[in-house]
Amino acid sequence: MKRLGPILLGAVIALYMLFVTLGAMMPGQTAQLDQTPKTTTVLLAGGVIHYDFLLPLNDVTRARLSWLGNAGVALDHPEARWLVVGWGARDFYTTVGSYTDLRARTIWRGLTGDTSVMRIDLAGALSNQSDHLPVMLSGAQYGALLDQIEARFAQADNTQPLEIDGLSGTDVFFPARGQFNFMTTCNVWIGQTLRAAGVRFGIWTPLPISVSLSHNVFQRPENQKP
C-alpha cells in the first residue's frame, strides 16, 4: 500500500503531461478572418510560470486602448515601445514572481478557482526580440485580438485599477472577467485569444511549455498552412 500512492501520483502526472502535449499539438477552433497582409507583429513573452502578450505601441494600439491612460498607464511615454498584457488568478498573479514564491493558499486557490485580473505594463525597446515568440497578424486579426483583450476587462468603459502592489513597480492590475483554475490558466487564455483572432494554435495550453510547443507546431513559417 505504501508504494501505491507514489505509483498513482506518477500515473496522474504522466497522464496530465500527455494531455498537455496533445492539447498543444492539436489545433483548436480558429476564427476565420482575413489573414493578409501581415502587418503587425505581436510577441509572446514567457517566464517560468506564464506568458504575456507584448502589443506594439503603434497608432492602432494607442487609439483602441486610450482609456488606459485614465488609469495612469502612460501609453505616450517616449520610451515605451510595447504594452504588456496578461490575464490570470488574482492571488497567484499579483504575488508570485517565480515558483519559489508559491504558498499553499495560492496553489490551492489556483487549482480550485480564483477571481481573475488583467495586468498591464509598459516595456521599452527590447534588447533581443528572439527571446520572445513572434506572431504575425493582419489588420483584421489584430483588431480581433484587441477585441478579445478588451472583452476580458470587467469594466472596459471606465476601468478603475486595483490597489495592488505589482510585480514590476510600474504594472497596473484591473478586475477581469472569467474564473481561473487549473483547467483555465493564464496560458490557456493566451491560446484562446489567439484562436479568436484567427491564429492557429493548440486547443489546450495550460503551461508555458504548452504555449512554446504550440507556437513551434503552428506558427513557425514552415509550419503555417496558406
Partnered with residue 179 across adjacent β-strands are: 115
pLDDT at 156: 61
- From first to last of its 226 residues, what are the pLDDT tens digits of the chain? 557 767 777 787 888 889 899 999 999 999 999 999 999 999 999 987 889 999 999 999 999 999 999 888 999 999 999 999 999 988 777 665 544 555 555 554 555 567 899 999 999 999 888 889 999 999 999 999 999 999 999 976 666 888 877 777 789 999 999 999 888 999 999 999 999 999 999 999 999 999 999 999 999 775 665 4
Give the whole-angstrom CA distance, residue 95 versus residue 87: 14
Cβ atoms 55, 83 nearer than 8 A: yes
Closest Cα partner for 85 from 44, 24, 133, 35? 44
φ, ψ dihedrals at 115, nearest 5°: -65, 160
Kindly compute the dihedral angle of the four CA atoms of residues 68, 70, 74, 76, in this order, to the nearest 10 degrees.
Answer: 90
Instruction: Return the H-helix or E-strand segment holding 11.
Output: helix 4-25
Question: Which structural domain, as residue segments, surrounds residue 69?
Answer: 4-223
- pTM exceeds 0.75, yes or no: yes
Indicate the number of domains in the chain.
Answer: 1
pLDDT confidence of residue 99: 47
Do you find a cis peptide bond into 161, omega within 30 degrees of 0? no
Q: What per-residue confidence (pLDDT) applies to 107? A: 54
H-state helical runs in 77-203: 90-93, 104-112, 139-152, 186-196
- Which pLDDT score is estimated for 215? 97
pLDDT at residue 109 in the model: 55
